[in-house]
Chain A
């Protein structure tokens, strides 16, 4: 069975500072990895994904993430945080080839709070 761990319930960062939201995963075979963001009372918005290729992936709103196979991690980064980045962030994984129509397995989410 696959799983995702987001070890921090909350991350606090001052505006303008770099931010990192951590994610580690467990899946058999090659993973497909995703980051989503959820604003209060809203649906999930896709930020970025890793399927194959370059380990550093760039996504929406200046976010990027690095796939590290040896550490089974997919941490989300942004060089300079904005107050508007404050939201709930989810890391998700699904099994790569052979995964069929399986849905995503989500981490428990990390609240990102950017302080002015």
Chain B
């Protein structure tokens, strides 16, 4: 009965590869997010998405793209992975944009 789940939990890959991280929420929320946490534990918003708008943080490279097959899922696709992409990626969701965001357990990405 996990509220926000992510797969995989760990992802180790080579530079230049393309990978995806999946996120699912069973809370019935209408807005989903992706955050990046770097090695210093800094958390930064990457994307916000609901059925009306996609907001992209301008600092996010266009190698990163969110894809939402339905309201309960927001997957993160990353093309041409670079060493600097190594981080923990968190998915989150909220009901209405002003309400509490609930976070998934994170996906630890290591690019070699």
Contacts and interface: CB of A to CB of B under 8 A. Distances in A.
Interface of A: 32, 34, 36, 38, 42-46, 49, 51, 88, 90, 94, 96-97, 99-106, 108-109
A100 B53 contact: yes
27 contacts: A34-B100, A34-B101, A36-B103, A43-B4, A43-B90, A43-B103, A43-B104, A43-B105, A46-B102, A46-B103, A51-B98, A88-B41, A90-B43, A99-B98, A100-B55, A101-B52, A101-B55, A101-B97, A102-B45, A102-B55, A103-B55, A104-B45, A104-B101, A106-B42, A106-B44, A108-B41, A109-B43
Contacts of B31: 101
Contacts of B98: 32, 51, 94, 96-97, 99
Contacts, number: 69
Nearest to A96: B98
Interface of B: 4, 31, 33, 35, 40-50, 52-53, 55, 57, 90, 92, 97-98, 100-106
A99 B44 CA distance: 17
A96 B99 CA distance: 10
Nearest to A100: B97
The residue in B31, B47, B48 that gathers the most chain A C-beta atoms within 10 A of its C-beta is: B48
